[in-house]
Structure 1
Amino acid sequence: MVTYPEGATALVTGGASGIGAACAKRLAGAGVRVVTADVAAGADERLDVTDADAVENLAARLGRVDILVNSAGVVGPSAPLVDVELEDWRRTFRINVEGTFLVCRAFVPAMTDAGWGRVVNMASIAAKDGNPGQSAYSASKAAVIALTKSLGKEVATTGVLANVVAPAAVESPMNAGTDPAILARSQSLTPMARMGRPEEIAELVAWLCSEALSFSTGAVYDASGGRASY
């Protein structure tokens, strides 16, 4: 049975839409108090995850959260590596990697002090496969996987578990500007022959955030419609 600590609070970054919003809805439906944070309108808190001061200020205002879902991210440039502008590369890493780092750094210490917590960071199957035309995105999400593996080992004896989810292409606003050819390639590689839905990813995240999970940390959970092969 999937349960959460009584009075648990969750912070979901990128919570205004897509996977983040679906995760927030799923956790709230299970009785968890959810705070969403996003640069977009509609979130409970306006937060640029690349702004270290803003992240630390949010942590000071919210205090301890029991569950942290880092879903804020961008696809970045859709172009061959040799044509990617340096600033586009850096922006992708700032949001996807530095943002995840800053939020974890700000909120994990209170979890370890409390002796319980769940961290779920959002990566991508591209982190394993390396999507052509998405070198910045693929590399940044690979960094998120490595970051989470390290964090999971660091907090393994504290009661805090940190894991990462690696979806294939999902029907979400983040993919609205993605090159259609890249999305078509992703679907062609997926045995289920379709894109994922945000609520499907949220179900996996909800389990990873729950008390049902007890012996997994620093692990990668695929949600790829069969695309993942390792």
Structure 2
Amino acid sequence: MIGFTKPLTKRAKAVVTGAGSGIGRALAVELAARGGHVVCADIDETGAKETARLVERAGGTAITAHCDVSRSDDVVALRDRALDWFNEAPTLLINNAGIGAGGRTVGKASLDDWARTLGINLWGVIHGCHHFLPAMKEAGRGGVINTASAAGFAAGPRMAAYNVSKAGVMSLSETLATELAGTGVRVTVLCPTFVKTNIFSGDLIESSVAGAAARIADFAGMSPEKVARMTLDDHDKGRLYVVPQLDAKAIWLAKRLTPTTHARVGGMLARLAPFAPEEEGPR
């Protein structure tokens, strides 16, 4: 069995999806500060190019790749571009691309919104793991970091599609941890709460919910740079879960110890929260 004694985030040959902003950008720049080489992938080519400039300014090297992670063919092209640039399998794959979604209950959120959310947040991670892992396993070394969310276990109301997508990422990561044991490839899943990013500006989040969430993130959210450092450090230590904030840890504990009470309290807080009433009918 290959041990987890060598840090994988130093001088990494990394692929980062969703690298055009937020946590993805912070991870790419932090990898650069550790001497890394980064493929900055995003559907937003302008954002990816700006991240690549920041990577090089921080001391790393970078190329960009346009990639819609919900499309398997795009991820295949990303893999091939990375293999060609590195001339070998990457040492680190970060499946970070994601979108926010929320504001409607099950039955009122449209099936199109469900499909789009799961397509990017869950299938994007599935595509990344499916297409990159064979070469990494064959090389006998490497790491995978999947960005989930505390929403994956908090299961807050009016966020079903987002919650399900992130719970799926957690379950996939846990499954991979068992399947990859002894292969030299380690797995980490990131589960933050509020981070100061632009995730609340997406068109799948109702404006009232987005505004309230953005205000909370601005006031109490952790910086993406701190999240990135903690995530990479914990990955080097071989940790499966990264739960960076105290509120996320408290929710995790409450959910495991008192699941019924957790659900009731969550429903009560949702009714008291400063959100506009839900609109009638599906979107």
Matched, 1:69 2:89: no
Assess, with a 3 A threshold, how the Cα gap between structure 1 residues 186 and 39 changes in structure 2: closer, same or farther: closer
CA distance in 1: counterparts of 2:34 and 2:159, whole angstroms: 36
CA distance in 2: counterparts of 1:2 and 1:113, whole angstroms: 18
- Deviation per residue, 1:5-37 (Å, 9 max, x gap): 775300110000000000000011110111110
Alignment correspondent of 2:245: 224
How does 1:29-48 map onto structure 2 within 5 Å?
29-40=33-44, 41-43=46-48, 44-48=64-68
Matched, 1:118 2:143: yes
Which of 39, 53, 77 is residue 73 of structure 2 equivalent to? 53
Alignment correspondent of 1:26: 30
Alignment correspondent of 2:60: none
Alignment correspondent of 2:229: 203
Per-residue deviation, 1:53: 1.2
- Deviation per residue, 1:128-154 (Å, 9 max, x gap): 111211111011100000011111111
Matched, 1:163 2:188: yes
Secondary structure at the counterpart of residue 20 of structure 1: helix
- Report if aligned partners of 2:10, 2:31 keep a CA contact under 8 Å in 1: no
Q: CA RMSD in A?
A: 2.4
Moved more, 178-187 or 168-177: 178-187
Moved more, 105-114 or 219-228: 219-228
Secondary structure at the counterpart of residue 107 of structure 2: helix
Alignment correspondent of 1:11: 15
- Deviation per residue, 1:141-176 (Å, 9 max, x gap): 000000111111111110100110100021111123
Query: Considering only CA atoms, is the larger Rg found in Structure 1 or Structure 2?
Result: 2
Gaps of 5+ in 2: 49-63, 84-88, 254-283
- Report if aligned partners of 2:11, 2:34 keep a CA contact under 8 Å in 1: no
Runs of 4+ more than 2 Å apart: 1-8, 176-188, 224-230
CA distance in 2: counterparts of 1:12 and 1:99, whole angstroms: 12
| Amino acid corresponding to residue 77 of structure 2 in structure 1 | N
User: How many pairs does the alignment contain?
Assistant: 222
- Report if aligned partners of 1:168, 1:186 keep a CA contact under 8 Å in 2: no
Secondary structure at the counterpart of residue 14 of structure 2: strand
Moved more, 168-177 or 8-17: 168-177
Gaps of 5+ in 1: none
TM-score normalised according to structure 2 size: 0.72
Matched, 1:194 2:215: no
The percent of aligned pairs where both chains have the same amino acid is 33
- Report if aligned partners of 2:114, 2:161 keep a CA contact under 8 Å in 1: yes
Assess, with a 3 A threshold, how the Cα gap between structure 1 residues 157 and 47 changes in structure 2: closer, same or farther: same
Higher helix proportion (structure 1 or 2): 2
CA distance in 2: counterparts of 1:2 and 1:203, whole angstroms: 17
Per-residue deviation, 1:183: 7.0
| Amino acid corresponding to residue 151 of structure 1 in structure 2 | L
| Amino acid corresponding to residue 224 of structure 1 in structure 2 | Q
